[in-house]
Chains A and B, each alone.
Chain A
Amino acid sequence: MSIHTIGVIIKDWLIGLLAGWGVPVELSRLLIEVLTWAVGAALCIIAIMLAALVFIYLERKVSGYIQSRLGPTRCGPVGILQSFVDVIKLLLKEDIVPAEADRVLHTIGPILFLAVSALAYVVVPWDEGGTVAGKVDAGVGVLFMAAVGSMGLIGIVVGGWGSNNKWSLLGAIRGAAQMVSYEIPMLLALMCVVLQAETLSLAGIVEDQKGSIIAWNFLRPWMWLPVVLFLISGVAEINRTPFDIPEAESELVSGFHTEYTGMKFALFFLAEYGNLLLVALIFSVLFLGGWLSPFGYPDPLRLPGIIWLLAKSLLIVLIVMWVRWTLPRLRVDQLMGLAWKLMIPAGFVALGVMCAVIMLGWA
């Protein structure tokens, strides 16, 4: 049973219940609609918080094993409670704001970053018919995701400027330059998938890959270049090593969040791990068949689609973590050069190949 069918059953039951109390059907429909939005939005927020808790632990363990260490071991069995202890520590930390900083902007920055970067979650197809804002996705899903995904930058710039610290300002400027540059290869990779699937809807892109693993986009040879472009620009968009130039501990102290402590710092990190999950989810949707089972449609194992989606995303997250602890950071000029002189031309090549494949009738 998919999420969609469960939702329909609950909705019908609620309408029946409200009708029993004498509420007009039109009004109860509207109420249930608003309730659905609230439940969907709450689930998105919970997904981000869980992602942050799990990924911080996972990142420390993965980095530990990559560097022949054990990672956290003290809090709970194999250190599994480490994230919770971190949350308590961050809650209890003193909030230090520089005397010369703009207190308003300094406070707004992290909230803006978190709230805006959460928005793209509404178009993620969690399961068949399981998109929070299904109608937005059906119309302009890919564009909405790309537009909202890069707006989190405003939070970084506001926070970096508001700190009145030279490191923060430099980090924010670099963040802006980086996001602006890597947006274009990402859009070009997305465009190749849209050409393949003939739809702007992320749910539709999954539908287009319906079938077993051989029908998925990543096994089509003309998708290999977009796969690489999307993965690299995705890692760059979420500011992770080797592209963490806005933070760059070894040169900018810690970039745009140098002057942040306690909960404000935690909000930045919450949003960053939320973004990591988002990029992994979108990658799975675009190239790895989203909620589809690798054994064919309908799923012979009868598992809910969301399990498959999360399993694929976890794989991507682990790859991104592996990259982080393996590759050194790029220099800022190398970073911009990579985007403008290699990835954007490569993106247009991918687009050309895709068009040729369609004209030849292979797609």
Chain B
Amino acid sequence: MALEYGPVAVLLTFGVALGVAAMVTAWLLRPSDPYAAKQAVYECGMEPIGPAWSQFYARYYLIALVFVVFDVEAIFLFPWAAVFKQLSAATAMGAVPLVEVAVFIVILLIGLAYAWRKGDLEWTR
């Protein structure tokens, strides 16, 4: 039932409240004297050239795709992991629970090996 997650909702509220309260307290106490040089974007003393919101190369784009695959794999495997001991103890099942998951993992590992071979795991190419 959703009520189980009550503590999570309360903690989220408290966390946000703590952040807001800390910022409001600081806002009441701190001095404020902004001027153009102080409000410039910090670039080690240089005048910044252009905003940071420009086209940039998210290098981990392919890595992120591989990550999604492995993350979903983890969601599939956790329920299996929780019952694997029972399944393998049931002699009638034999090695079936292990083999089924092994096939699944091997397919994923072939994918990882492919990405590795293609050089998609490198930071610079």
Question: Which residues on A are within 8 Å of B, measured CB to CB?
Answer: 33-34, 36-38, 40-42, 44-45, 90-101, 107, 110-111, 114-116, 118-119, 121-122, 132-133, 135-136, 139, 142-143, 146, 161, 163-169, 173, 176-177, 180-181, 183-184, 187-188, 191, 194-195, 198-200, 253, 258-259, 262-264, 266-267, 332-333, 336-337, 340-341, 344, 348, 351, 355, 358-359, 363
* Residues from chain B with Cβ under 8 Å of A118 in the complex: 11-12, 14-15
Q: Which of B20, B39, B105, B122 contacts A96 (CB 8 A)?
A: B39
Cβ–Cβ contact B5 & A136, under 8 A: yes
Cβ–Cβ contact A98 & B41, under 8 A: yes
> Complex: how many Å from CA A262 to CA B78?
42
Cβ–Cβ contact B70 & A184, under 8 A: yes
Say whether, besides A37-B10, A200-B82, A169 and B56 are in contact (CB < 8 Å): yes
* Residues from chain B with Cβ under 8 Å of A191 in the complex: 74, 77-78, 81
* Residues from chain B with Cβ under 8 Å of A94 in the complex: 30-33
* Residues from chain A with Cβ under 8 Å of B85 in the complex: 195, 198, 358, 363
Cβ–Cβ contact B30 & A93, under 8 A: yes
Instruction: Return the chain B residue nearest A194 by Cβ.
Output: B81
Contact with A along B37-70 (1 / 0, CB 8 A): 0111111100010011100101110011001001
Cβ–Cβ contact A173 & B60, under 8 A: yes
Instruction: Give 6 A-B contacts (CB < 8 Å), ordered by A residue.
Output: A97-B39, A115-B18, A139-B4, A169-B52, A181-B67, A183-B67
Cβ–Cβ contact A359 & B88, under 8 A: yes
- Shortest Cβ-Cβ A-B pairs, 10 listed: A115-B15, A111-B19, A333-B123, A177-B60, A263-B26, A41-B11, A135-B4, A133-B7, A99-B39, A194-B81
> Complex: how many Å from CA A167 to CA B43?
8
Cβ–Cβ contact B52 & A114, under 8 A: no
Q: Which of B38, B42, B71, B82 contacts A194 (CB 8 A)?
A: B82
Question: Which residues on B are within 8 Å of A, measured CB to CB?
Answer: 3-8, 10-16, 18-20, 22-23, 25-27, 29-34, 36, 38-44, 48, 51-53, 56, 58-60, 63-64, 67, 70-71, 74-75, 77-79, 81-86, 88, 95, 98, 105, 109, 112, 116, 121-124
Say whether, besides A91-B26, A165-B52, A180-B60, A336 and B121 are in contact (CB < 8 Å): yes
> Complex: how many Å from CA A259 to CA B51?
14
Cβ distance B1 to chain A, nearest Cβ, rounded Å? 8
Instruction: Return the chain B residue nearest A198 by Cβ.
Output: B85
Q: Which of B16, B41, B60 contacts A115 (CB 8 A)?
A: B16
> Complex: how many Å from CA A133 to CA B84?
26
* Residues from chain B with Cβ under 8 Å of A116 in the complex: 12, 15
Cβ–Cβ contact B18 & A114, under 8 A: yes
Cβ–Cβ contact A166 & B43, under 8 A: yes
Cβ–Cβ contact B30 & A38, under 8 A: no
Q: Which of A41, A96, A166 contacts B38 (CB 8 A)?
A: A96
* Residues from chain B with Cβ under 8 Å of A42 in the complex: 14
Cβ distance B36 to chain A, nearest Cβ, rounded Å? 7
